[in-house]
Amino acid sequence: MKKMFGVIGDPIAHSMSPAMHNDLFELYGIDASYLPFRVIKDDLEDAVKGLKALGTSGFNVTIPHKTKIMPLLDKIDPLAEAIGAVNTVKNENGLFTGYNTDGPGFVKGLEGHAADFKERSALIIGAGGAARGIYLSMAKAGVKRIDIFNRTMEKAEELVKTCPYEVKSRVLNRANAERLLGEYQLIIQTTSIGMVPEVDFSPLSLENLSTKALVSDIIYNPLKTKILKDAAINGAATQNGIDMFVYQGALAFEKWTGIFPDTQRMKENVLRHLGGYTC
């Protein structure tokens, strides 16, 4: 029987996940379909019950449901529990298990740009939901130093305090982050600064940036944010958010099918949808 997968969120019309996963099902000869479902906040519980009653094999979860869905699932993977968000659900013998592949997807995407990432000193900009997933996944992967700069320092302090993995971390204000910038070989931008309407803004000055650094932005629209342009001008390597998006999808696909898919093909597919090209 044909298997059903999907993504629930609101808004959902512009999600690139259906095109990405349906292409993979076809590529690997898997008889399955992946559909977008707009689910408003008040309908989340009914939607999860419905997906279970219909025997859905798995689904992705996006804004605004990543945290609220957790008590509605049967099991939660420990990393997703620590992050406090689920973006992937798998039906395991009738029980829904929640995973987080966003943070691990970011880490997997790093491997291609900085194979030595575990040895690098990292600075994360931001301390929201996305930063939380990335910080904890990097700490779990064995990165030894991860400092955080966030406008609201208390949020960064909370993140450091609640981390169950061994890692050295300092919480910095903007002035200190800019002053110490040369110490980092990995800088990860997780805020919305750089997206429309803030395309001409960067969360911090890169004056002291090391040319040995990789600057990674999780934004993929636009493909080149202001901070990535500044990084390139300063001679540093750059990575945009396409990798994180593609690898979170690849890890979800692997959980559902046991196949780690062709990420280069996925990237090309996503870029076609965005109508652009990346380095």
Name the residues annotated as catalytic. Answer: 66
Residues 96 and 79 sit within 8 Å (Cβ to Cβ)? no
* Contact status: 126 vs ligand ATR (CB under 6 A): yes
**Residues 37, 5: Cα–Cα separation, whole Å:** 10
Give the footprint of ligand ATR on residues 4-63 (CB under 6 A): none
7 forms beta bridges with 36, 60
Question: In the bound complex, what is the minimum distance in angstroms from residue 266's beta carbon to ligand ATR?
Answer: 21
* Alpha helices per DSSP H over the chain: 17-27, 44-53, 78-83, 102-113, 129-141, 153-161, 174-179, 226-233, 242-257, 263-274
Nearer to ligand ATR, 32 or 44 (CB): 44
Question: In the bound complex, what is the minimum distance in angstroms from residue 66's beta carbon to ligand ATR?
Answer: 8
Mode of pairing for the β-strands spanning 237-239 and 214-217: parallel
Question: In the bound complex, what is the minimum distance in angstroms from residue 39's beta carbon to ligand ATR?
Answer: 18
Comparing every residue's Cβ against ligand ATR, the nearest one is: 128
Give the footprint of ligand ATR on residues 142-201 (CB under 6 A): 150-152, 155, 190-193
Nearer to ligand ATR, 98 or 203 (CB): 203
88 forms beta bridges with 60, 99
Structure tokens at 251: 């890890």
Question: In the bound complex, what is the minimum distance in angstroms from residue 180's beta carbon to ligand ATR?
Answer: 18
State the residues that interact with ligand ATR by CB under 6 A. 126-131, 150-152, 155, 190-193, 203
